[in-house]
Amino acid sequence: MKDSYLSRRLANILPIVGVAVFAAFGVLSRPASADEGGASFWLPGQMSSFSAAPGEAGFSLPFVYYHTSADAGGARNFAVGGNLVAGLDVTADLVFFVPTYVFGEPVLGAQAALSLGWAAGRMKVGADAVITGPQGNPINLGRTDTVEGGSDLYPMATLKWSRGNSNWLAYAMGGVPVGAYEVGRLANIGINHWSLDAGAGYTYLDPQAGHELSIVGGLTYNFENEDTNYQNGVDGHIDWAASQFLNEQLHIGLVGYVYYQLSGDSGSGATLGDFESRVYAVGPQAGYFFPVGKAQGYVNLRGYYEFDASKRPEGWNAWLTLSFPFGSGDN
């Protein structure tokens, strides 16, 4: 494998790949983690290969299609949109749009980038039984709600440093609650509260041998959902990926995540107490570089299979990332 050839391909596409994987954060909260109704700001699995590797400056517009299917049995209770329900069955399909700008001039010796994430799609949530509604009225029938609409807004800033095969990342992001949400509804794309998340990551990338390993960890602080008087606790998360290039275009490997709630939920709406959650996942991935004029496009498919979940729905999810560079591609 020629070092200069693979390095040139990676330099053209890495900022787009990293942002496509990274900036599609938190949009599909409802089935992803725990906290209120099995919902959190951070969407486990959003970070993957090349997440800390810098690359070409300029604009990009990554697209990410996301599908999830998760459920929890009727013996498990959740607070969802002001309802107390038994059992959850969740499916969703969303498309992320993440306009991004990577600066050409260094900031604190690092490559800086800004992005704004948003998604649109469809979510369906069913409950085995709705025990009480938002007004406290007893309801004993199962129910299914479906919503189509847009997500909250997700601004993000990153700094990336590189030295040899080692790359480091620092990031900060927020959640602006403007997405589709309604008290009393089971299916909500927005989470109806502000959030802040920050963390750091590392990517080892050896173009000569074709080895790649990435890991990113962070913490989320959640503000109160004032419509339900529910405040999620502090969440911790780790996403990781490892891959091997089979040739100058194709790489395959494994991905995974760990999600662990570090402090309990609070507020008068937290009728189930602390409700601290966890989940683990692992799965396969494959990525492929393809020519776009003088530059390189990129497509990646990866899937996660969850296990050992506590106080959250458990299932599987899949990501399809498609990235096109808007830079010169002259590297």
User: How confident is the model at residue 28, as a pLDDT?
Assistant: 41
Query: In angstroms, how far is CA 244 from the centroid of its own chain?
Result: 23
141 Cβ contact list (under 8 Å, min separation 6):
129, 130
In this prediction, the residues of the chain whose per-residue pLDDT falls under 50 are 1-4, 12-13, 15-16, 18-34, 328-331
Instruction: Tell me which H or E stretch contains 292.
Output: strand 278-292
Give Rg (Cα) of the chain: 20
CATH 2.40.160.40 fits 3-323, yes or no: yes
Q: Provide the strand spans (E) within 246-277.
A: 250-261
Domain boundaries, the chain: 3-323
Instruction: State how far the Cα of 107 lies from the Cα of 101, in Å rounded to an integer.
Output: 14
Give this prediction's pTM.
Answer: 0.87
User: How far apart, in whole angstroms, are the C-alpha atoms of residue 45 and residue 80?
Assistant: 23
Question: 216 Cβ partners below 8 Å, 6+ apart?
Answer: 22, 47, 51, 52, 169, 171, 199, 200, 201, 202, 238, 239, 240
Give kind and range of the element (H or E) at residue 295: strand 295-310
Q: What is the pLDDT of residues 146-194, one digit of tens each?
A: 999 999 999 999 999 999 999 999 999 999 999 999 998 989 999 999 9
What is the pLDDT, as a whole number, of residue 247? 92
pLDDT at residue 163, as a whole number: 94
Return d(Cα 71, Cα 146) in angstroms, integer. Answer: 15
pLDDT of residue 6: 56
